[in-house]
Structures are given as structure tokens and as C-alpha cells.
Amino acid sequence: MAVGLDFNGTAQQVNNFVSVSIQFDKPGACKARGSDLRVHFKFIKMKLDTSGLESTAPFFGSSNELLDGFSAAPFFEVPNTTNFDGFQKEAIQMVKPAKGTTTLAFIFKEGVMVAADSRASMGGYISSQSVKKIIEINPYMLGTMAGGAADCQFWHRNLGIKCRLHELANKRRISVTGASKLLANILYSYRGMGLSVGTMIAGWDETGPGLYYVDSEGGRLKGTRFSVGSGSPYAYGVLDNGYRYDMSIEEAAELARRSIYHATFRDGASGGVASVYYVGPDGWKKLSGDDVGELHYKYYPVTPSTVEQEMVEVAGA
Amino acid sequence: MARYDRAITVFSPDGHLFQVEYALEAVRKGNAAVGVRGSDVVVLGVEKKSTPKLQDSRSVKKIVSLDDHVALACAGLKADARVLINRARIECQSHRLTVEDPVTVEYITRYIAGMQQKYTQSGGVRPFGLSTLIAGFDPYTCVPSLYQTDPSGTFQAWKANATGRNSNSMREFLEKNYKETSGQETVKLAIRALLEVVESGGKNIEIAVMTKEHGLRQLEEAEIDAIVADIDAEKAAAEAAKKGPARET
């Protein structure tokens, strides 16, 4: 048997508990035989009910919390989300700096070709059109910059120091394998601390041309063709289509230049100047640095179109 | 722990490190060891003291490999040698891991010498009581190398050298008789040097040959006996030749 009660009461929130005081109008009104007293409360605000986790209700900020951690009631708001399992990953993705750039490198018969754009962007704002994204580690090794400019520059210079020390100690140059391994180990030790580096180490050592991709997650891959950055899908399309192992240096340079140009055409975060470097047995050499705007008109020259209709003055009024 | 910071190796008034010199004495009491570098091999030889009957002779290895292409022979305190060899082996693998390259012989020698030096300049420790002969081939080049380290922490490259008991006589012999050799000739030279101070016979000598292709190879007792017999025959022939012409005239 259910009994409905009218009550004048107050619902008061103390910490995470809602205390309800009930006053009965008429004494003895709830005397009922063999009935259960069910009380329904409607909670307006959703709070994580942690009453099961503790035994006593502490006052907010009381010294009880400091002395006895077990009985302190954890007080936190559940985040306003539907994706309870993945919201942390979403947060990381939100703050992760996107590598707004296009860099590429590939090995061919004559050596390694390295190319990059030169645009730096902060969200939608183009902060610079003339950034040097190909970093000279030493006379026979190059590194490319994608991700955080400061991170890339600093760690590449640091790698240059380590390579030089290795040379002095061992009386022979460090291999591209060794250099990339040193950088990858350093980046791995900073994993999770917010470094953003997506770089390629290209060079020529005793075993011939070498190309490695190293990133701030600690990954390191050996390969013959890489492109890194937001414009990389577009660059890959052109690069993979036109790549042949036995190209001449000029052909390879033109392929690299065109790949960068096409990436800058479609990707908003890439642009500026397409620089192309070549790494051969005697070290690296800068081949060209062309403004991509000019490259566009070189590849797609404007043809003067015939005038379809000439506008003539209408005679009279 | 502060009690153990007092340095044991301190300078004497006339600039000697007596602990290091005493360590060299310990080396001089150790078994004889010789190393000879040829054009395509490096040979390490060690005097084998007679093993007691019940001892398993295979457990006493005097010439050890640090990696596929580097080997080490030493004279002095064998327990110190074990510690040094273990650390060197770890360093060889660690180098392979960090730069994906095997160590050069000079690199690992520098590492071992550096460790020996550290123990002459630390508190509460004594120097390692051993000198090592390190032989090997550098990766990617076919150049054979032979290095020697000593308790003071210095290292040098040698064409041929000896350490341990009676090393002076062995070195004198090598200085007189060294010439550029290859293959089996280098092995013979090493054995001849060792025979100057050691009783003749395969069971008293341990020889290992390091080549570029096959790495370290320990010679069997029978092989050593055969070479010793060769050497004896040559010696006899030389003696006879010396006596022969003299009689005729």
C-alpha cells in the first residue's frame, strides 16, 4: 500500500549529499499498518554518487582529509561527455600540434634527394614564408624539420654536436644509422613530454646513401621514400607516381620540386619556397630554391584566351 | 659510506702511484701471454699452468672473446679479469645497440683502459691487477689490430707484445725476430716467443687465432704439438747448419 505524503520540506545540498528534512503536517499521519514507506527524491543536478566509498561524511576542507586519506570522500565532477573511454585521447589530440608543412626525401641511384617547403603557420595565420626546413647537421648529413620548429632546430644541432664528438673520439665519421639512432633514443626519452618532431635524417656514409625517418613518439624507420607533414599525402601522390630508382640528378630534383609544388598547391599549411638539396658521396649541395607561386605559372602558364564578345558602346541613350 | 671515500691510490712524494706499481708487480707474477699481429691474422698465446688432475681444464679459459671480432688475453689477477671482461662484453653490445655498429678494437680498448684508470682515481678501491692484450679486426675494414692495456689505464697499439711472467725475455725475442708475417707464420712466431719462457709441449700452451672470416679459433692441443714439432725441427736444422759448415772449413 502506497501512502502519499504532502510535506513541507527543504532540500539542502551539503557537499555531495542532499539532505532532506521532512515535516509532517499532522501528527500520526504516517501511521499505517503493514505499509512500506517509500520516499522518492528527484535530483536536479547529476553528481557522482560516492557514498558507497566512504563511511563518514567529512566537512569540506576539514583536517580529516589530511589525516585519513581513506575516509576522505573523493569530490570531483564527472566531465560532461558521452565518450567516457576516449575523452582523454580526444584531449591529447586537441592540443597536439599538427605538423603543418611538407618535407620529402628519397634515395635514388645517385644519392639522396631532400626537399621541403618554407611556410610556418600558427593555426590560420601564416607566420613566415621563409623558414629553413632543411637543417645541415654536418657537411654530409641533412635533417628535415616538421612539427615544432624550436624542437627540430635544437635537437638537430644537438645531434650535430654528438656526431662531431663521435668523429673526434673514433677517428671516423658516424654512420647515418648511428646518427638517426642517437636522435631516436633522445626523442624516446622525452616521450610524452610534448616534443613535436617529425624528421628525416638523410646522408651518405661508408655503406652508401642512407635515409631514416625519426619522430617524437620515438619511432625510427629505414626507407627509400618518405614524406612528412600535412602536405605529405599530396607529395606522396606525385612522388610515388614519378619515382624511378635510376634517375639522373636533374630528373630527381625536378621530381622533388614538383612534389613539393603540388603539396603547396593543395595544402594550406605549406607554401613559400620549395628548396631542393642533393646528398652525394662528397656531401650535400643545395640545388634550387624556387618560389612556389612562380613554379605554378611555370607548370601552368597562362594562355591568353580569345575574347568571345567584345563589348561595344551602345549607340544612343 | 663516507669512511670508504679515502683514496687508496695516492701520489708518493716523488710522483709515483705505488698502488699502480704494485699492481704491475701482480701482473709480472701472472702467467705469460703473448700477442702477434700479422697481415691477415692476430695470434694470442697464453702459458697454461699444469692443471690438477681432478680439475676440468675446459672451465679455465685464458683467451676469451669480447665480441665476434674482438678477443682478449690477460695476465694478472684472474678474478679482476672476469669483472673487466664482463663489463667490456656489455659495452660491446651496448655500442651495437646505440649506433648499430660493432665496436672498433680501439674503442673497446679505450673503454677497458678508461675503466682501469677510473679505479686508480676513486675512493675506497684498488686498481685492477691485470694487463690485457686485445686483438681483433675493425668492422668494415680488413685491418688487424693488437692493443695492450695496463693497470695504470694507458693503452698502446703493438705489432707484437708480451706481458706477464718473463715478459721481458719474450719481448726481446720478438724485437729480434719480428717481421711482417701472415697466416701460419704468425702463429709460429707467437709459439716460438712463448717457448722461450715456457716448457715445451702442447699441453702448456694455449693459442688462439683471430681472422677476419672465422673470428676467434682456439687451436687444438694436437695442432699446437705439430707446430712445436715443426719449430723444434727448424731449430735443429739451424743448429746443424751452423755446426756443419764450420767443421768443413
Read off the pLDDT band of A122 (50, 70, 90).
Answer: confident
Domain chopping of chain A, boundaries: 103-299
The yes-or-no verdict on residue A19 having pLDDT over 50 is: no
Cα Rg of chain A (Å, integer): 34
Q: Looking at the predicted structure, is the pLDDT value of residue A52 above 80?
A: no
Taking the CA of residue A224 and the nearest CA in chain B, the distance in Å comes to 19
Beta bridge partners of B27: none
Phi then psi dihedrals of residue A17, to 5 deg: -115, 145
Fold of A103-299: Glutamine Phosphoribosylpyrophosphate, subunit 1, domain 1 (3.60.20)
Q: Which pLDDT tens digit goes with each residue over A136-195? A: 988 999 999 888 888 888 999 999 999 999 989 888 889 999 999 999 999 999 988 888
Question: What confidence score (pLDDT) does residue A95 get?
Answer: 58
Measured between beta carbons, the chain B residues lying within 8 angstroms of A182 are 98-99
Task: Say if residues B200 and B228 touch (Cβ distance below 8 Å).
Answer: yes
**Which residue's entry shows cell 679486426?**
B137
Q: Which residues of A are catalytic?
A: 101
Among A177-181, A269-273, A296-300, B200-204, whose mean pLDDT is lowest? B200-204
Q: Residue A3: what pLDDT?
A: 45
User: Cβ of A64 under 8 Å from any chain B Cβ?
Assistant: no
CB distance B99–A181 less than 8 Å?
yes
Which site among B91, B101, B106 would you substitute to test the A interface, given the most A Cβ atoms closer than 10 Å to its Cβ?
A: B101
Read off the pTM. Answer: 0.72
Find the CB nearest B107 among A170, A178, A182: A170
Mean pLDDT score, B162-171 = 93
Residue B145 contacts A where some CB pair is shorter than 8 Å: no
**A185 close to B (CB below 8 A):** yes
Check if the beta carbon of residue A220 is closer than 8 Å to that of residue A213.
yes
What pLDDT is stored for residue A61 in this prediction?
47
Tell me, yes or no, if A157 comes closer than 8 A to chain B by beta carbon: no
> What is the CATH T-level fold of the domain B19-237, as seen in this structure?
Glutamine Phosphoribosylpyrophosphate, subunit 1, domain 1 (3.60.20)
- Nearest partner of B73 among B133, B148, B149, judged by Cα: B133
Q: How far is CA B108 from the centre of its chain?
A: 15
In this prediction, residue A92 carries a pLDDT of: 65
Minimal C-alpha gap between B209 and chain A (Å): 26
Distance CA B51, CA B206 (A): 13
Look at residue B137 and tell me whether its pLDDT is greater than 60: yes
Flag whether pLDDT at A23 surpasses 60: no
Q: Which residues of B touch A178 (CB under 8 A)?
A: 98-101
Chain B nearest-CA residue for A207: B140
Q: Nearest CA of chain B to the CA of A259: how many Å?
A: 32
- Round to whole Å and give the CA distance between B101 and A116: 30
Q: Smallest Cα–Cα separation from A117: which of A223, A226, A265, A243?
A: A265
pLDDT at A2: 44
Query: Cα angle vertex A159, ends A212, B101, to 5°?
Result: 60
Query: What does the pLDDT read at residue B203?
Result: 77
Q: How confident is the model at residue A121 (pLDDT cuts 50, 70, 90)?
A: confident
B interface test, pick of A166, A167, A172 with most B CB neighbours within 10 Å: A172
Q: Tens digit of pLDDT for each residue in A188-223?
A: 999 888 888 999 999 998 889 999 999 998 899 999
Whole-number average pLDDT of chain A: 79
Grid coordinates in use for A226? Answer: 618518405
The three-class DSSP label of residue B84 is helix
Instruction: Judge whether A19 is closer than 8 Å to chain B, CB to CB.
Output: no
Centroid of chain to Cα A21: 54
CB contact under 8 A, A178 and B140: no
Nearest to A170 among B98, B104, B140 (CB): B104
Chain A residues near residue B106 by CB distance under 8 angstroms: 170-171
In degrees, to the nearest 5, what angle opens at C-alpha A130 toward C-alphas A124 and A132? 110
Residue of A nearest to B95 (CA): A178
Nearest to A174 among B99, B106, B140 (CB): B99
Under 8 Å between Cβ of B188 and B38: no
The residue among B110, B106, B105, B111 whose CA lies nearest residue B86 is B111
Select the residue from A170, A187, A222 to test the B interface by mutation, using most B Cβ atoms within 10 A: A170
User: By CA distance, what is A180's nearest residue in B?
Assistant: B99
Q: What are the strands, taking DSSP E only, across B55-204?
A: 63-67, 70-76, 130-137, 144-149, 155-157, 160-163
Cβ contact (<8 Å) for A177 and B140?
A: no
Query: What sign does the dihedral A161-A164-A168-A169 (CA atoms) show?
Result: positive
User: What is the predicted pLDDT for the residue at A70?
Assistant: 55
Is residue A182 less than 8 Å (CB to CB) from chain B?
yes
Chain B nearest C-alpha distance from A218 (Å) = 14
- Report residue A62's pLDDT band, with 50, 70 and 90 as the boundaries: very low
Query: What does the pLDDT read at residue A120?
Result: 87
Q: Say if residue A28's pLDDT is above 90.
A: no
Is B101 close to A175, i.e. CB distance below 8 A? yes
Over residues A102-119, the mean pLDDT reads 95
Q: Is pLDDT of B48 > 70? A: yes
B104 touching A (Cβ < 8 Å): yes
Contact B106 A170 (CB under 8 A): yes
Q: By the CB < 8 Å criterion, does A178 face chain B? A: yes
- Cα dist. B115→B5, B28, B92, B121, B161 in Å? 18, 21, 14, 10, 22
The ipTM is 0.74
Span of A24-38, A227-241, B213-227 with lowest mean pLDDT: A24-38
Structure confidence at residue A17 as a pLDDT band (50, 70, 90): very low
Per-position DSSP letters for B144-166, written without gaps between them: EEEEEE-TTS-EEE-SEEEESTT
* Whether the predicted pLDDT of A38 surpasses 50: no
Among A224-238, A292-306, B234-248, name the most confident range.
Answer: A224-238
CA distances from B25 to A192, B21, B29, B33, B120 (A): 54, 6, 6, 15, 15
Of A171, A178, A185, the CB nearest to B101: A178
Higher pLDDT, B26 or A316: B26
pLDDT in tens, B49-105: 877 788 876 667 789 999 999 999 999 999 999 999 999 999 999 999 988 889 999
In this complex, is the C-beta atom of B249 within 8 Å of any C-beta atom belonging to chain A? no
pLDDT: is B10 or B157 the higher one? B157
